[in-house]
Structure 1
Amino acid sequence: MEESDTYIQQAYAKKSHVCRYIERHPVLSTLPIASADTVSQASTGPSASTSTTSSDPKTIALPKLQLPTFSGDILTWVSFYDAFRSAVHDNKCLQDIQKFQYLRGLLTDEAAHTIEGLSLTGANYSHALQLLRDRYGQEHKIIDAYMRALWQIQKPNGDLSSLHRFYDTLESYIRGLKSLGKEESSYGELLVPIIMDKLSVNTRKQIARDHGDVPWTLPDLRKALLKEINAIQAGLTVDTDTMGESTSQPALTVYFSRQLEIYTSVQTKAVCILQRYTPVWRMYCCRRSQETNGNCEA
């Protein structure tokens, strides 16, 4: 108790000393002065932990990154290498042997055979990566592969899905060439007749009807193909809606159809009753005729 009283007396003495200092310096008089109780509460109270936690930045849990694999298709090398380089190769926290482990785990088929025989060591990582670059990463080889793919692209068989697949594949190869610096103007004139030969006769007629007798360019042909796909899609949608409308009858038509069924049913019953009692009616008529005329024509 004596020690606590002494601590409180010293705190108040320091407070009075500070107040006298502030009075001699008016600029500091605008600052708030905390009491000893306030200081002790701020250091031990829940507000201290609150201020600490509130300053922490908020984090969002992102989904796990899944790196693509590479099987040896030269058309997918650029996308694979860019993803691998950003996630693994440029990661300074990984050693070369760890990078080599990731690289081997992402290679399949022909690409895996390319580095087969290299032992799993840190020194062989750069060697393995260079082998893959020399075989799949040379720009002129990738451009040649894209041009061969455009030449060998599968023909559409005339329906909407195959034409859509043909257009998407064409656009993918053209975007790949553009990423390598090859513009359409450098190969478009050679590619137009190849694409036209792959289209069906009906498709060529449809796109030529709007284009007229004007030389085709690759951008115009791509736009015409997309327009034809949208027109076919719109036509199929209209046909589907028309079929749906034809199967559903209006309420008034349904009412009259029901009345017709009832009338037909009543008429059928009447005919059945008439056929059933016709012999009896004939006998009655014959008897009356005999009584009246003495003969019976029935």
Structure 2
Amino acid sequence: MNEPILSHRDCAVQVLSFNNPGARNALTAEMYSALPAALAQAQQDPGVGAIVLTGVGEAFCAGGDLKRLAQRRAMTAAERRVGIEGLHDMIRAIRDCSKPVIAAVEGPAAGAGLSVALACDMLVAARNAMFSVAYVKVGLSPDGGATAFLSEFVSRQLLTELCLTGTPVTGERMHALGVVNRLVAPRTALLQAVAIAQVFARGPGRAIERIKRLCRCAGENTLEAQLDLEARCMTESLGDDEAAEGIAAFFEKRLADFSALRLTA
């Protein structure tokens, strides 16, 4: 059986690819466990500074495998919930990864595939990418955090339209809405995503982890709660060797070198 997730290293960037191209990288139960394991391995590897998530072939991820989903009708509600939580654990693993995770989207990111892309810290999408909350077309409701993630970018009315129609949205429209960070030519999304990831990989890893935590909580916290979290993160940062190197480099008019600090952390 083919590996559900392919993994290769590009300098300090770990590239993880959904490997089900015959079904446009539809998600499988094996992926639900394989991707979190690959993310955990990358987090523990001091030589990895950032992660890129993509799909093999011409699709990012077409969402759930409908043949497998159809079989769940015969299951009990509790058994169905177990399968859904497998997907949700994978989404949490992407969101909670301590290192930057960038989605490189070519072709469709549909259903749970859209949720996967939105769980990443940044999105690089080809102009021919198509994003869709496709569930309604097969009589299902969204999962994987799709409604939560999209609500950060669009009004309730537009969110309702996207979910009730399942109409595909182009990479250009998603870029205009602020969902996509970089809009690039077809077949270049992975190249561009890795280039961005390489910049992050050269940065101060522990500071980046704190920044990720701040950005994740900013929309949910009250001002007082966010000020407290910022104070705690800044307190940690000021005592960190990364800050010593960064500040010294500023005064010495040179580029900061965080690589040794990352490898000895």
TM-score, with normalisation over the residues of structure 2? 0.25
Q: Which has the higher contact order (CA 8 A, sep 6+)?
A: 2
Higher helix share: 1
TM-score, with normalisation over the residues of structure 1? 0.23
